[in-house]
Amino acid sequence: MTTLSLIVPCYNAAKTLRPCLEAVLAQTRRPDEIVVVDDASADDSAAIAAGLGCRVVRLPVNRGVSAARNAGVAATTGDVVFFLDSDVELRPDAVANALRILEDDPECGCVQGVYEPEPLIDDGPAEWYRVLHAAYWRRRHLGDVTGVVFALAAIRRDVLRAVGGFDETLRDCEDVEYGGRLAGTCRVVLTDEVRGRHDDASRLLPILAEQWRRAVPLIPLALTASRRGGGQPEHANRPAGILACALAMASLPLGLLHPALFALPSALLACFAAADPGLLRFVHRHRGPAFTAYFVTVHLAVHVVLVSGLAFGSLRLLPGLRRPPPSPETG
């Protein structure tokens, strides 16, 4: 019988850890072991996990999600490792479905799930933007994929051994880097049979800050994956929309030469808004027309930061501007 270890890395996760773990304990196929890796939290995360009967591994200093996941792997023995973020509440059949997919297909080494289109805790419109966008783009790529998001994903332990641990120098985009190494070693499947509700960021500035942090290393990581022969991860945003936003930003100064030239960036912004009609229909169906207008506005702000971060990350590849990766202690 295949054994399964479920690992929950957490840092100051008291808000969501209880519903996360209660959903794990209510699975139709209970994990053989549940390990919560507390990444030096300053709240009651470890006490909540211990109170629910979970084994807790405590890290003495905060080292980031990669180190927490590696510590969880080292502390467990299951044939399959199910990684679950502390802000995700699984559907009751999620673990059983992931294990069934792996058992039915020996060539499949990793199964990852999708978010529900409703937040775990409703904290306002900015969170709805994030949740709806994440729910949509993952469903758009159902099937065999290259990239991996380890928020709710099961992977065979022998695949983990072959590919190696998570890069502990990375505080962001660690899943992108890992997917680059994983590509080509086994089938990776994205399925809507493994689902969970996610509690996401609820304020715009932290959302934009996170987008910046994740955008800056994307180009260097993509180039590294390409040199290794790995594939590129699936796009969360349509390339046409990213290009339209970038061109609109680049052409905006033309309006300083003559007001009529503002027509060009305006037209490009219209192209940006129309770049993913399926996304707009998805948002409209779940939240209506007024929220869809708000969604497009926030989506544009996120793209401006994304394009800026990609450009900055590309500039850092130039000779003289390259910097060594951060240490795990400094992030």
Give the pLDDT confidence score for residue 316 in this predicted structure.
77
**Whole-number Å distance between alpha carbons of 236 and 227:** 22
**Whole-number Å distance between alpha carbons of 89 and 115:** 9
**Whole-number Å distance between alpha carbons of 49 and 72:** 14
Give the pLDDT confidence score for residue 275 in this predicted structure.
96
Give the pLDDT confidence score for residue 320 in this predicted structure.
55
Question: CA dist 156 to 82, 101, 143, 186, 268, Å?
Answer: 9, 12, 18, 10, 45
**Whole-number Å distance between alpha carbons of 131 and 218:** 22
Query: pLDDT by residue for the chain (331 residues), tens digit each?
Result: 899 999 999 999 999 999 999 999 999 999 999 999 999 999 999 999 999 999 999 999 999 999 999 999 999 999 999 999 999 999 999 999 999 999 999 999 999 999 999 999 999 999 999 999 999 999 999 999 998 999 999 999 999 999 999 999 988 889 989 988 998 899 999 999 999 999 999 999 999 999 999 999 988 887 876 676 666 678 899 999 999 999 999 999 998 888 888 999 999 999 999 999 999 999 999 999 999 999 999 999 999 999 999 999 998 787 755 554 444 333 3
Give the pLDDT confidence score for residue 197 in this predicted structure.
98
Give the pLDDT confidence score for residue 321 in this predicted structure.
53
Contacts of 321 (CB under 8 A, 6+ apart): 315
Give the pLDDT confidence score for residue 329 in this predicted structure.
38
Give the pLDDT confidence score for residue 325 in this predicted structure.
46
Vertex 302, ends 316 and 146: CA angle to 5°?
70
Amino acid at position 147, single letter? G
**Whole-number Å distance between alpha carbons of 297 and 116:** 22
Give the pLDDT confidence score for residue 55 in this predicted structure.
98
Residues of the chain by 3-state class (helix, strand, coil), percent to 5: 50, 15, 35
